[in-house]
Amino acid sequence: MSEDCVFCHILDGEIPARVVYEDDNVLAFLDANPLSRGHTLVVPKAHHERIDDLPTADRNAVFETLGRLAPSVEAAVDADGVNVGMNDGKAAGQEVPHVHGHIVPRFEGDGGGAIHSIVRTRPDLPDDELDTIAAGIRGAAE
């Protein structure tokens, strides 16, 4: 538990939340500042700031719950689709330093964009740089 983490305070019951799912590893609740009707957050019960900090069991539980709840969230608000995503780190837009996934219901004509609309300027990378990046990722993942 982190004393200054709003999600830890929700997990401890100090801040009320509209809980939609709970098990031993995760809690899912409606976002207090939703991007759309039904916007749901999935958080591990243990405090971890970044995805890389998550133990395997917590990481698996978060991603499994995101996958399991996305269709339920979509159905509950009669959405046309959902975006499922995570902001990992301040530069990526993470506002609460506790790992959390978003399920954001989407509706035709809602004015939102695809995941590709997050970054407005895209790099024009030559093939040799793409090859170097791919090799670096493969090496780090081993």
Which positions are annotated as active-site residues?
A: 100
Rounded to whole angstroms, how far apart are CA atoms 112 and 81? 12
CB contact at 8 A, 99 and 61:
no
| Amino acid letter for position 136 | G
Q: Exposed, middle or buried, 69 (CB in 10 Å: 0-12/13-18/19+)?
A: buried
- Using only C-alpha atoms, the chain has a radius of gyration, in whole angstroms, of 17
DSSP state of 44: E
CB contact at 8 A, 13 and 62:
no
